[in-house]
Structure 1
Amino acid sequence: MKNKYPNLQIIVLLIFLLATSIQNVLAQDIKKFKISGIVMENGKPLEDAMVILKPKQKVAYTNENGVYNFNNLVAGNYIISVKVTGANLQEKEINLNQNVINFDFKFDAQKLNEVKVVSNKTINQNPISVGKSSIKGFDLPQSVSIINNEIIENQQVNKLSDVIQNVNGVALGTARGGTGESFYSRGYSLGRNSLLKNGSAVSSSVMPEASTLESVEVLKGSAALLYGNVSSGAVVNMVTKKPKYEFGGEVSLRTGSYDTYKPIVDVYGPISKDLAFRVVSTYENAASFRNNVKTDKIYVSPSLNYKIGEKTNVLLQADYLKYDNTPDFGIGTLDGKIPTTINRESSFNTPWAFNKVNQTTTSIIVDRELQNNWNLNFIAGYQNYDRNYFSTERIQAAANGDLSRNLTRANSFENYFNGQLNLTGKLKVGKIEHQILLGTDADSYKTTNNGYASLPTYDKINTLDANKFTARTDEPTVNLLTITQSPTYRFGVYAQDLISLTEKFKVLAGLRYSYQMIDNQSIKDVKTGASSINTLSNRSDDAFSPRLGLVYQPNKTTSFFGSYANSFEVNTGTDVTFNNLAPSIINQFELGLKKDLFQSKFSANFTIYKIINSNTTQQAEFLADGKTINNDNKIQEFLGETTSDGFEIDLSGRIVGQLSFLAGYSYNFMRFTDVSTAKNSPILGEEFVRNVPHTANGTLFYTFKDGKVKGLKFGASSFYTGNRFAGWNNKVGQSQTESRILPLDGFTTFDFSAGYSFKKISILAKISNITDELNYVVHENYSVNPIAPRQFLTTISYKF
């Protein structure tokens, strides 16, 4: 049909073009304005200050030069306000004829370290101290989790695992006999050297005290360039509470289920204008949901902060921990399977079994501000560790419940020294900016182990019928035979540079050289007094560990990254023939996205990775004869190449008001990818036992700040652990009718908290594992420990 109005389309198009042109002209007539300024403290730029533009309620944060900006403003009257903790609110009325508005806060010079800027900046915008060079999260091509003091207090954490369960991708375990905690990240155990306190390595052989924690940082993936021989899964840095130059403190009492009793005292203040102190101390006495299991702990941590002029700060810290607990090997197995007829309260140890630990730690941290944005940091630490242990071992009962209880007697001492020196700074060459780290570290530790005469089978019991046999209750005498001293020395130098090619493209490159020597063992025969030297124990290893990362930031709230790192893992101990183990070579690849949302109040980060270990080790199952069960964790065996890959999602921040949010999910698959086909070798492709493929966590807390319910607080947390395997990996040549792997179902626990604060007094209560979920934590290779049932915990505090 012929169009009756052939020019209608042309007329409409011309009208649209005309209207668009008029709109553009009008838009050009609306003048846009910009406001900027500098926020200062005592005449120096103040970073991370929150600046609010009213009435539009726009928010900006000052950069490292104290500068803030507001763009695309139309004509009108505005108010700019800046709030800094420790100072009165500053507000200035302006009109848009002004475009530069500055603020300057004045503080007592001795209280500057107490000033905290009111800020909602995310983990991506803040410097990461565990990274040594204060690189901001957005610039770091690596995944990081930080659990801050707010979460630590809200969840009433009692031990490090209470904190770590908030870090997705890190699974919880337990040490032999429940004497300590162990953690697994990306399939790897976070053992010796991977646990840090204020950047200095500490023993992972005892449960750290959590009452002194200010925050916990977890640097996931490879940290070999920064810390040397650490786990390929992650390093955990415990940041402790520091002295303050104003008097105050807190006294609290924590109590709860199973006769838990824990008073905590935290006092701080100035000694002089340049010297401040802090003392955190606690005593803990608790029973357990497990029969005949108890804990007794004494802890004290004094610290001093000394200001030497305006550019040098010295922090001295120490702590003493006396930790006594009952060794607990869980419910064990029946005929190699997890028993379903034994309740979680059942314990099969002797009434006299003990694990007694005394640990003293000291450290000094010196920070020196040099010229032109350069800084020098020195850290030195010493730790003395003394463990006295006597207990029955492995609960591996027959199908009918019969169990022959064997004994282990151990007495070990460790003196550990470590130090590091780091030079950090920024410089600009042409248009390219550099953020440089140069450092060196060294440590030495001497371990003394007392060797005792072998003991016959202690007795026989039945885990299903306590009346079948009469259990012994006496503590046997054990003869000390040898005292063995084993010294180890390590040294490393490293260099790293964050190169900002443009505002959007950055390169992080670094290289480390590491050297480790295990010296000759000295063995003393207690009976004769004669000493001998084991020259077979002497070994040295060295290697270069490179790191390369690329970062692309299309805008200020988005960062894409990719990285590669290589490291070598020194395998301590010996094989079954007492020969030293060669190191394992590990390659790690990582890709990720970091994104800030909701006006930079909330972060959503995603990471995908692959880790290839040339030769994974574990505690040898049997001694050299292939029959005798090995109870010595220093006797290891190679398994072959393993590959671990997966991804992690981290969510954190504040979406609205006082609603804080933390959540995450991780997936990891670790399996054997290159093994021998010889008898007793692992099965190619089989998943590595103790690996936890799925973990997830979520926490919400809301605090009312106004109205009649001011001070009221509510919170809820949930933690998920997926299906996994305990037991031992299957081997080539074994019977095909029976698997050595023990499958464990996944489980989820829910916690609920409520509290109220009025002036200086607060009370906070928590119910954990509300649904009374029954499940297990993997305990080495042969057993599992039940998780705690529903429990109640409350803390009453007074701040002064």
Structure 2
Amino acid sequence: MCLTAAIPVLIAFPANADVVKVTTVLLKQTDGGIEVILETADGASPQVFTASFGETLIADVVNTQLQLPSGDEFRADNPAEGIASITVTQLYTNTIRVRVTGITSIPEGQLIPSSEGLVLRLSTTTHAAAQLGADSTKPDEVSPSVSGGEVSPETVPDAELTAPSAEEPQPQAEADEQIEIVVTAEQESGYRVPSAVTGTRTETPLRDVPQSIQVIPRQVIEDRQIVRFNELADNVSGVQGERGYGGLSQAGFRIRGFSTNFSNLRNGFSDFGYISTRDVANVERFEVLKGPASVLYGGGGAYSFGGGAGVISGVVNTVTKKPLDQPYYDTNATYGSFDFLRSTLDITGPLLSNQSLLYRLNVAYENADSFRDFNENESFFIAPVLTWKINPRTNLTVELEHQQYDGSLDFGFPVERDFLEVPRERFLGEPDFTDADTNSTLVSYNFEHQFSDNWKLKQGFNATFSNLDSDQIFPLSLEDDRRTVPRLPFKTDERSENLTLSNSISGKFSTGAVNHNLLLGVDLARYRYRFDFFRSSIASLDVFDPQYGAQPGSFRFTSGSDNRSRNIGIFLQDLVEVTPHLKLLAGGRFDFYDSSRRNRVTDEFLNEQTDERFSPRIGIVYQPSDSTSLYFSWSNSFAPQFGRRTREDGQLEPEIGEQFELGIKQSFLDERLSATLALYEFTRKNVLTPDPVDPLFSIQTGEQRSRGIELDIAGEILPGWNLIATYTYTDAEVTEDEVIPEGDRPYGVPENSTSLWTTYEIQKGDLQGLGFGLGLLFFGEHEVVLPNTFTLPSYVRVDASLFYRRNNFKAALNFKNISDVTYYLLDGALLGPASPFTVQGTVSFEF
């Protein structure tokens, strides 16, 4: 197996392994390339994990430490034809990274058992010289000359390089010299992620996509100890977290000024999570596509009930963990402020000796109180996954997720300035009438078959079922005394189901000197959301001197709706490589929707309609060097308006989004650090506003515009020093409307915001493995509701961490909101007080 076939991996440390010292790095010229030799003190050959992206080949050597007499890093520039650089660095305390960057393509690699230690043979000629296996060729050794940390390998006579024949027996190394090579389906560790699937529905280098895409990898989730989805917004420019329904832990965001209405993606499938919680236990990474996504995923939104995830201003795609072909076990326990208790288990490996059947199981349990009075929750999550490698070109992955969540529904405060004086822990409901029982089940499969090296068929199916039964009390506006809040109690029964079947064919071909990456597909989707609300009455509450114990009266069935939609989407996309430095991306999608909305109280149909829409995208990428990409794109999006009608009972046109984006993507420090700078203008048209004659109906005269500048930086500055940072400038406002004043800003969107999260782990000495983390978030002043009523002040939040990592063990302390600043999460209708200063301690073991 060729090393260049490897894809990014997550390093899994073997248990009870002694740390191997690498004392010397040598280069040897060969007939087809060069060899990199990591000499070890005792000739041991450690475990190796491989990855590749762009023109770079990576080999992570675990349970090793670099102890060179000449310094902490080995580097060779232009050591052989076709190879731009070779570096050997200490990635983590006990992991060495070998990074080989090609000039125009990925260097092909061969790992060779050797009594000297570890040998990586690199070739830029034929695939025959790059098959994994033993090889007894021994060219003459040459030590590189070092000058200022730069290495210039000397030239030696060519040595014959032969590929092992399938018919000939190959020389076997001794048992203690075997190199264990692990190739998995996991993403590369660290803060920098070089490729993503969300921008093109295929695994594509981010530098080739003419749109801003940011990825939050698992490493950031673990270092920050993120347990709530909306915390992820801190590390992506132009994105803010949305408060969940009744304070539930849900995936709600605002992207470039506008809400996603809880419409997201999960492994590329539509995921409307408004009435169900989401857990991060089985999440590998989050990919955020900023700007219109309808060209690939159709249209949708919470109020359209369309089931689509191509929301107007962007989309968040959750990519879950997949099985590994080597055993890996991880367990951890966290305890923190307000009796927060959480434990997770992650185990994976092969079920059969030939590794044709792989499994992965993630389990999480959480039990916690809250800084909010009378709030508590208990959650259980389980997610098994099976991958069947039917043959070398065909595989099938089947996933199941189930979460049971029992907790409190807490709607926070009404949007009134007076509540800024109310203690943030104050609860406006009743302790004995605040239960939420929600569960969600997800079943999916993904089938892939490669017809050839260039053409692939993919079919995926996803079914998500969510239920929420609740007792809830909704607070209304304060009475004239400015301290008494009226309240409405409800019992609710809410159900949703989302079914999607996706089929696509992708292929690579050439027309003359022009290379094409073609994608053609069809999506079929069906969505249903049903709710019944039973209403009663209850006594008001004094917000400054609450006296709890009131009981609601009898309940009556006051509102209910059954919303259904079906969708067919046909999409076509071509990523064209005109020259090695110039790429064009063009695509379009045609969607057909039909929907219905039935009143469950009167059993009458309120609305039945159909919509169809074409969504295009065009982009260009110019790459003057391997580290720089300049891009421009134009794209459209839409959201059907199924849930509203005009006063004349007319059908409303879909809401339309249009974006122009210009940017640059740049990598630094030998591709260890990357940055994206984007300038954009995004306009929403056909925005619904209340009919001034009858506010129960809508008209479409609204237009809103957002334009701004976004900067994202992520990666490794020095060995052990990781960073992810953002800056956002957003000029968002209402430009046309019959009711909302022109010039009003969308809620929860500051003009300026910036964030930083960085960690450093000591690489050597008595304190090796000790690390520190620091997080800063500046959030400028922002409106609380649209139309604007009052502004919340800016704030600075400080987070920190202290951790220690040694072999298979890690312990960490995370300090969140050290500054104990008071701030609020918003949803456009309520104020949700955010957590004060909290501490979480975590202990984890890997095997």
User: Structure 1 length normalisation: TM-score?
Assistant: 0.82
Of residues 49, 56, 78, the one that matches 2:57 is 49
Q: Which residue in 2 is equivalent to 1:745?
A: 793
Q: Which residue in 2 is equivalent to 1:346?
A: 426
Correspondence 1:303 to 2:390: no
Q: Which residue in 2 is equivalent to 1:22?
A: none
In structure 2, C-alpha distance between the alignment counterparts of 1:139 and 1:508, rounded to whole Å: 9
Letter in 1 for 2:57: A
Of residues 96, 101, 121, the one that matches 1:61 is 101
Correspondence 1:607 to 2:647: no
Task: State the SS of the aligned residue for 1:258.
Answer: coil
CA contact (8 A) 2:189 2:219 kept: no
Of residues 309, 334, 349, the one that matches 1:269 is 349
Change (3 A) 1:82 1:664: farther
In structure 2, C-alpha distance between the alignment counterparts of 1:287 and 1:121, rounded to whole Å: 32
Shift of 1:252: 1.3
In structure 1, C-alpha distance between the alignment counterparts of 2:233 and 2:161, rounded to whole Å: 42
Task: State the SS of the aligned residue for 1:489.
Answer: strand
Correspondence 1:442 to 2:442: no
Q: Which residue in 2 is equivalent to 1:381?
A: 462
Mind listing any 5+ residue stretches in structure 2 that lack a counterpart?
1-28, 37-47, 60-73, 80-84, 88-99, 110-118, 124-129, 143-153, 165-169, 173-177, 300-309
Shift of 1:752: 0.9
Task: State the SS of the aligned residue for 1:774.
Answer: coil
Shift of 1:116: 7.5
Correspondence 1:785 to 2:843: no
Task: State the SS of the aligned residue for 1:707.
Answer: coil
Of residues 572, 590, 600, the one that matches 2:661 is 590
Shift of 1:422: 1.9
Change (3 A) 1:337 1:164: closer
CA contact (8 A) 2:298 2:569 kept: yes
Letter in 2 for 1:343: P
Shift of 1:240: 1.3
Of residues 409, 412, 418, the one that matches 1:327 is 409
Task: State the SS of the aligned residue for 1:506.
Answer: strand
Letter in 1 for 2:797: T
Change (3 A) 1:53 1:683: closer
User: Structure 2 matches for 1:178-257, cutoff 5 A?
Assistant: 178-181=247-250, 182-193=252-263, 195-205=264-274, 206-229=276-299, 230-257=310-337
Change (3 A) 1:312 1:754: same
Shift of 1:766: 0.6
Letter in 2 for 1:355: A
CA contact (8 A) 2:329 2:348 kept: yes
Q: Which residue in 2 is equivalent to 1:726?
A: 784
Shift of 1:115: 7.9
Task: State the SS of the aligned residue for 2:246.
Answer: helix
Correspondence 1:555 to 2:625: yes
Shift of 1:642: 0.9
Deviates more, 1:566-575 or 1:411-420: 566-575
User: Structure 2 matches for 1:68-87, cutoff 5 A?
Assistant: none
In structure 2, C-alpha distance between the alignment counterparts of 1:342 and 1:760, rounded to whole Å: 47
Change (3 A) 1:353 1:663: same
In structure 2, C-alpha distance between the alignment counterparts of 1:504 and 1:778, rounded to whole Å: 44
Q: Which residue in 2 is equivalent to 1:512?
A: 589
Shift of 1:515: 1.0
Q: Which residue in 1 is equivalent to 2:113?
A: none
Percent of paired sites with the same residue: 23
Correspondence 1:521 to 2:521: no
In structure 2, C-alpha distance between the alignment counterparts of 1:363 and 1:762, rounded to whole Å: 33
Shift of 1:120: 8.2
In structure 1, C-alpha distance between the alignment counterparts of 2:782 and 2:51, rounded to whole Å: 52
In structure 2, C-alpha distance between the alignment counterparts of 1:88 and 1:153, rounded to whole Å: 38
Task: State the SS of the aligned residue for 2:273.
Answer: coil
* 1:200-240 per-position Cα deviation (integer Å, ceiling 9, x unaligned): 12232133101111111111111111111122322111111
In structure 2, C-alpha distance between the alignment counterparts of 1:660 and 1:505, rounded to whole Å: 31
CA contact (8 A) 1:245 1:276 kept: yes
* 1:160-214 per-position Cα deviation (integer Å, ceiling 9, x unaligned): 1222321121012213422344210111112253x11211122321331011111
In structure 2, C-alpha distance between the alignment counterparts of 1:36 and 1:563, rounded to whole Å: 41
Of residues 219, 231, 254, the one that matches 1:162 is 231
Of residues 637, 643, 647, the one that matches 1:567 is 637
Change (3 A) 1:109 1:636: farther
In structure 2, C-alpha distance between the alignment counterparts of 1:372 and 1:359, rounded to whole Å: 38
Letter in 1 for 2:757: T
Shift of 1:370: 1.8
User: Structure 2 matches for 1:352-751, cutoff 5 A?
Assistant: 352-398=433-479, 399-452=481-534, 454-455=535-536, 457-466=537-546, 471-480=548-557, 484-519=561-596, 521=598, 523=600, 532-534=603-605, 536-575=606-645, 581-617=652-688, 638=700, 640-676=702-738, 681-729=739-787, 741-751=789-799
Letter in 2 for 1:509: A
Shift of 1:39: 9.9
Shift of 1:796: 0.9
Letter in 2 for 1:668: T
* 1:627-670 per-position Cα deviation (integer Å, ceiling 9, x unaligned): xxx9xxxx877561111111100111112111111101111122
* 1:129-183 per-position Cα deviation (integer Å, ceiling 9, x unaligned): 5531222111110001111121111111112122232112101221342234421
User: Structure 2 length normalisation: TM-score?
Assistant: 0.78
* 1:65-115 per-position Cα deviation (integer Å, ceiling 9, x unaligned): 64379xxxxxxxxx977799x999999735524579989999999986438
Shift of 1:260: 0.5
In structure 1, C-alpha distance between the alignment counterparts of 2:422 and 2:644, rounded to whole Å: 37
Change (3 A) 1:283 1:638: farther
Deviates more, 1:545-554 or 1:237-246: 237-246
Change (3 A) 1:215 1:38: farther
CA contact (8 A) 1:49 1:117 kept: no
Mind listing any 5+ residue stretches in structure 1 that lack a counterpart?
1-32, 70-78, 526-531, 730-739
Shift of 1:448: 2.2
In structure 2, C-alpha distance between the alignment counterparts of 1:373 and 1:66, rounded to whole Å: 17
Task: State the SS of the aligned residue for 1:655.
Answer: strand
In structure 2, C-alpha distance between the alignment counterparts of 1:693 and 1:251, rounded to whole Å: 41
CA contact (8 A) 2:678 2:710 kept: yes
CA contact (8 A) 1:196 1:235 kept: yes
CA contact (8 A) 1:589 1:611 kept: yes
Change (3 A) 1:386 1:236: same
In structure 2, C-alpha distance between the alignment counterparts of 1:157 and 1:104, rounded to whole Å: 48
Change (3 A) 1:99 1:201: farther
CA contact (8 A) 1:712 1:755 kept: yes
CA contact (8 A) 2:198 2:317 kept: no
Shift of 1:368: 1.4
> Which protein shows a greater Rg?
1
In structure 2, C-alpha distance between the alignment counterparts of 1:675 and 1:702, rounded to whole Å: 50
Letter in 1 for 2:234: Q
* 1:509-548 per-position Cα deviation (integer Å, ceiling 9, x unaligned): 11110111103637476xxxxxx451x4111100111111
Q: Which residue in 1 is equivalent to 2:306?
A: none
Change (3 A) 1:97 1:707: same
Letter in 2 for 1:746: S
Shift of 1:625: 6.4
In structure 2, C-alpha distance between the alignment counterparts of 1:319 and 1:556, rounded to whole Å: 40
Shift of 1:348: 1.1
Deviates more, 1:175-184 or 1:383-392: 175-184
Count of equivalent residues: 717
Shift of 1:480: 4.0
Change (3 A) 1:104 1:473: farther
CA contact (8 A) 1:721 1:747 kept: yes
Letter in 2 for 1:374: W
CA contact (8 A) 1:438 1:494 kept: yes
CA contact (8 A) 2:293 2:315 kept: yes
Letter in 2 for 1:693: E
